[in-house]
Amino acid sequence: MEEYKIIKKPIHSEKSVYDRENNNTYYFEVHNKANKIEIKKAIEKLFSVNVLGVRTITRKGKKKRTRNIIGMTKERKRAIITLHKEDVIDLGF
């Protein structure tokens, strides 16, 4: 799988900003079928940084109801990337 298909977008929330400033960790939304090794290689190739660790979280879709139709939201996968102390990713935030 290509690097641009594995890494979808960075996640910008209060927790991710705090971790980025204090712990040098970055949050990304990734492809649901990507594993930790593929995510690590994609981050290292796209941003030219040294990755120390990758943690993943999969959020299940929720049931949503609109009038008489019951549907599901998408399942999403997040990756928490820990970088070396000297490396920084410029996300433009």
Q: Any idea which fold 3-83 has?
A: Alpha-Beta Plaits (3.30.70)
**From CA 48, how far away is CA 57, in angstroms rounded?**
24
- The answer to whether 8 and 74 have CB atoms below 8 angstroms apart is no
In the chain, what are the domain boundaries?
3-83
Give the pLDDT of residue 92.
Answer: 85
Query: What does the pLDDT look like over 34-62, one tens digit per residue?
Result: 999 999 999 999 999 999 999 999 999 99
Give 20-59 as a DSSP string: HHHT-EEEEEE-TT--HHHHHHHHHHHH---EEEEEEEEE
Q: Please name the amino acid found at residue 59.
A: R
Q: What is the pLDDT of residue 35?
A: 95
What percentage of the chain reaches a pLDDT higher than 70?
99
